[in-house]
Amino acid sequence: MTGLAEKVLALGVAALAQLPQPHEVQASQASADPDSIHVLVNRQNPLQPVDYSPDDLVEVEVRTSAEEPVLLRMEAAESAEELFETAAEEGVTLAATSGYRSFDAQSELYSARYAEHGLEPTDEFAARPGYSEHQTGLALDVISIDNPECILGECFHETPEYEWLETSAQDFGFVIRYPEGAEDITGFAFEPWHLRYVGTETAAEVTEYELTLEEYWRQPAAPEYDSAEPNLR
């Protein structure tokens, strides 16, 4: 474990001590129900069923760089539209790049990389089908559309758009799901562009205490997959 990861974990433990205790009220708890906005999906917790698809997907009416419509579950889509509208009013221009991805779409994406690079390099950069937050319809990837140097998101964390999201995404129920230095908890490298909808109350507490969802919901870290091989079609 790196020194940075140790520091993040230490901060997490300190913040956890400040959270409401089990006998008190906390904004939310982790759910295994894929229809819950608080479903926990990570390398140890695949969706059940693994090919789950939400039944309330709608197109998000925001600026997008994607060729296909960006879909989210209705509640998340409405909040995303409010987020984009407020950001624009405050001089922050975002664009959506990806929302819901089905099991089959994720399988196709993962399989193509797997065939070219093998298991470990693929697991490092792509979620396995059934283990992707995008399959929940609650995850949204964004970019700084007017910053050509960061159009692919590689330096998104250095943009004013990211700075705005750090302090404002919570107001619309979103959190930055994979924060910097938390790879040993989430299993994923820093993804400043990946937003996860959890509702405003949960997002406020997660942001206030600077926690991952695993820490906030007092769930085990998930740096490794629960299965040696991916489930591909």
Active site residues: 191
Tell me if 231 sits within 8 A of 50, measured CB to CB.
yes
Give the dihedral of Cα atoms 225, 226, 230, 233; nearest 10 deg: -130
Query: Which residue type, as a one-letter code, is found at position 31?
Result: S
First-to-final CA distance of the chain? 34
Three-class DSSP category at 206: helix
Q: Report which DSSP code applies to 140.
A: E
CA proximity to 191, closest of 145, 228, 143, 123 = 143
Cβ neighbours, 10 Å, residue 152: 12
Question: Please, are residues 177 and 141 in contact by the beta-carbon 8 Å criterion?
Answer: no
- By the 8 A CB rule, do 127 and 108 touch? no
Tokens coding 215: 């820490």
